Chains A and B, each alone.
Chain A
Amino acid sequence: MSVVLTLRDSVAACRDAYETVIESVAGPLDERVFGDVQAAWRAYYQEVFGPFDRQLRAESALGQVDAYVPVSVSHHNLERLFEALAAELPADARLADAPIPERVLDLDVGIRRLRLLLTSRAAEPTPFGD
């Protein structure tokens, strides 16, 4: 028998799996090797967030999913940031070597803020009954 996950269940799964990304940026972010952080992000983005995003799209055709749209928007924004950094920085370089350090700040803030968003969306009851 298959178990039907609600969007909130799926966000909770993202929240739990996202800890691997948080671990990849532990300590001073500048000292981290970009490729290591990117690898942790890519695995999470494709394997855990991807299924959530597909579920969100499917359910958006059936009803209001507004509470979860920011989760998707923020993930794709962060993915775009990794893409921008990858164009500027070799995978084996430290983030301190980024030519546009403002984007490393974006990465630092973005990664931590996404954790808060996932935690809040996984915890709060929504007006949509899930």
Chain B
Amino acid sequence: MTTGDPPTGHEHGGHEHGAGGHGTQPIVGHHAAWGMPAAAPRIQPYTMTPGSIDTMSVRVREKIDVLGVGTDVVDMLGTFTVRRDHPCAVGDPPRVEWGESCVKTEFRSLELAGESPVFGTVRVHLSPDEASHGEVGPSSDGSLAASCVAHCFPIVELPDLGLRLTTAGQPVSLASKVIQIPPVGDVARSQNSAALVDGEGNTVGEIISSDIEVGNLLLSIPLGSTGDTGATGAHHEHGVHETASGPYFYADGQPAGELEHPHVHPPAGTVEAPQQAPGTPQDLTETLALLQRELRSLADVVGRLSQGER
């Protein structure tokens, strides 16, 4: 491609100005920067998919009461990122199939912002002191929808009131019924209220309810070989969370092909993720080599520009 060509936004196998190696893709801006519709990954319903780290848009309606200030229903927009493990079988015989499996999840981030006529700006994010986690479990009551639960520990910031409030270790538990993972279009609703506590431990308010619309999948990075190694040789126990980040949840990076455990890893690629993370040591080596070449090329360009300025 020359500089006179129209941008496609996604050139493959080439590079400009002689920099980089074969297969390098230029960084020239997202599809949206070129006026093209973004390529959303397709999600297959009723299908257990390999674990990944998903970032999704979200809209949250939270009913908040602050003592002495008032109650308001606050509409907030934002994003959240969730790490979901590879699915595990919970039935007998164990089969990784929709409706007979579970997927453990851990919320890595939640960033919400909204405006309230009562509170002013409202920001919500996850407490770093607690692991917000959840699970997509088997279907129930003859329904094909899987039961999805999440236990989140939010921090509510009301900067106009000078308040930063936690739920003091009490989770807001959310539940929904999903037919696809990631759960695009899902609506999760809280099952409990939670007291809001200030930095001194005083109860100053309450999250009365939370209702959540899951929006588009913005980014999905497959876990690759970082799935559960099953080192303990046990099944995930559906509905039990010893710790969200405990030995069942994270892996030590052993390649999936060498595992001997009851977790069956479905074939990769079931979800057409927008990006593929390097999955093997060879992939990583190649990626690092490409990055090194790109950096050398960039250094050359910077050097030439510096000389030109002089």
Interface residues of B in 143-182 (CB under 8 A from A): 143-145, 175-180
| A53-B144, A60-B45, A102-B73 as given contacts; A79 in contact with B211, CB under 8 Å | no
A76 touches B191 (CB 8 A): no
Q: Chain B's nearest CB lies how many Å from the CB of A44? A: 14
The number of chain B residues touching the other chain, given as a range, is: 20 to 34
Alpha-carbon distance A56/B145, docked complex (angstroms): 12
Q: Which of A46, A74, A76 contacts B142 (CB 8 A)?
A: A46
Interface class of chain A by DSSP: helix
Q: Shortest beta-carbon distance, B203 to chain A, in Å?
A: 19
Contact B144 A54 (CB under 8 A): yes
Question: Which residue in chain B gives the minimum CB-CB distance to A100?
Answer: B209
Contact B45 A76 (CB under 8 A): no
Say yes or no: A73 contacts B191, CB within 8 Å: no
Q: Nearest residue in A to B46 (C-beta to C-beta)?
A: A57
Contact A76 B46 (CB under 8 A): no
Establish whether residues A80 and B45, one from each chain, have CB atoms under 8 Å apart when the complex forms: no
Cα A121 to Cα B73 with chains together (Å): 33
Find out whether the CB atom of B144 lies under 8 angstroms from the CB atom of A60. no
For residue B187, CB closer than 8 A to chain A, the reply is: yes
Does A102 contact B211, Cβ atoms closer than 8 Å? yes
A79 partner, pick from B45, B98, B145, beta carbons under 8 A: B145
Question: Interface residue tally of chain A, by bracket?
Answer: 20 to 34
Q: B175, A80: Cβ atoms under 8 Å? A: yes
**Are B186 and A73 in contact (CB-based, < 8 A)?**
yes
Partner of A72, one of B45, B61, B187, B189: B45
In contact, A102 and B143 (Cβ under 8 angstroms): no
Roughly how many angstroms separate A57 CA and B46 CA in the complex, as a whole number? 6
**In the bound complex, how far is the Cα of B142 from the Cα of A106, in angstroms?**
25
- A50: chain B residues within 8 A (beta carbon): 142-143
Instruction: Name which residue of chain A comes closest to B187, CB basis.
Output: A77
CB–CB A81/B179 < 8 A: no
Q: Which residues of A contact B42 (CB under 8 A)?
A: 66
Residues of A within 8 A of B179 (CB): 53, 69, 72-73, 76
Q: Residue B270 at the A interface, CB < 8 A?
A: no
Interface string of A30-53 (1 = CB under 8 A from B): 000000000000000010001001
CB-defined contacts of A70 to chain B, threshold 8 Å: 185
B63 at the interface (CB under 8 A from A): yes
Q: Judge whether B254 is part of the interface by a CB distance below 8 angstroms.
A: no
Complex Cα spacing A84 to B177, Å:
12
Would you mind naming 17 contact pairs between A and B with Cβ atoms under 8 Å apart? A50-B142, A54-B144, A60-B44, A60-B45, A60-B47, A66-B42, A70-B185, A72-B144, A72-B179, A73-B180, A73-B185, A73-B186, A76-B143, A77-B177, A80-B177, A87-B191, A102-B61
